[in-house]
């Protein structure tokens, strides 16, 4: 390049070179964020699976040291984990059953508080409008029961499949 005919200073050329690189990096970061947001459920499942794996691998190794092979120690770890969860949920169930009346009263009071806020708050909704929205929500859940159930089953199968694959 001939300096006498080149009208763009080298500092501007350097800034332009850095600018397009930063734009490419920003676009790549935006695409990654978009992909993560679109696949949020998958990332949550994978995070939970990795966390459970980190928690359960030491137990599997301990059981493996007792002489069981890797597959049986993985199965034993899974069974022990499920038994522990069942025990925890049964204890929670008993505690909640003993407080069922208090929970029902608190739930009713919470629903009444939300209705009051919807009526008197910034939305100023009428009781008939609130009831219409509740009916629409109930109808949407009823209409999409199959999809909700299949989503829950899919989540559960992905969760346990990923956990077992990480433990094995």
Query: What are the φ/ψ torsions at residue 125 (nearest 5 degrees)?
Result: -85, 145
Instruction: List, for residues 146-159, the tens digit of each pLDDT value.
Output: 787 777 777 777 77
Per the document, the length of the chain is 168
- On whether the pTM is more than 0.95, the answer is no
Tokens of 95: 């505690």
CA-nearest of 74, 100, 43 to 168 is 74
Residue written as tokens 């493996």?
A: 64
Asked if the model's pLDDT at residue 161 lies above 90, the reply is: no
Residue spans per domain, the chain? 9-38, 40-167
Helices and strands in the chain: count of H runs, count of E runs? 6, 0
Asked if the model's pLDDT at residue 119 lies above 90, the reply is: no
Residue written as tokens 């001939």?
A: 2
Over residues 35-61, mean pLDDT: 82
Q: pLDDT at position 137, please?
A: 81
Tokens of 47: 């995070």
């Amino acid at each position: 390049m001939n300096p006498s005919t080149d009208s763009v200073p080298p500092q501007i050329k350097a800034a332009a070179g850095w600018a397009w690189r930063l734009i490419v990096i920003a676009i790549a970061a935006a695409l990654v964020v978009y992909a993560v947001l679109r696949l949020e459920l998958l990332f949550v499942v994978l995070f939970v699976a990795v966390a459970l794996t980190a928690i359960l691998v030491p137990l599997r190794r301990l059981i493996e040291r007792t002489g069981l092979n890797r597959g049986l120690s993985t199965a034993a770890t899974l069974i022990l984990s499920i038994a522990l969860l069942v025990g925890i949920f049964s204890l929670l169930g008993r505690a909640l059953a003993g407080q069922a009346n208090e929970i029902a009263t608190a739930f009713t009071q919470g629903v009444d508080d939300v209705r009051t806020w919807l009526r008197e708050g910034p939305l100023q909704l009428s009781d008939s409008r609130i009831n219409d929205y509740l009916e629409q929500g109930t109808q949407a859940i009823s209409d999409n029961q199959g999809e909700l159930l299949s989503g829950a089953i899919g989540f559960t199968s992905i969760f346990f499949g990923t956990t077992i694959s990480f433990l094995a």
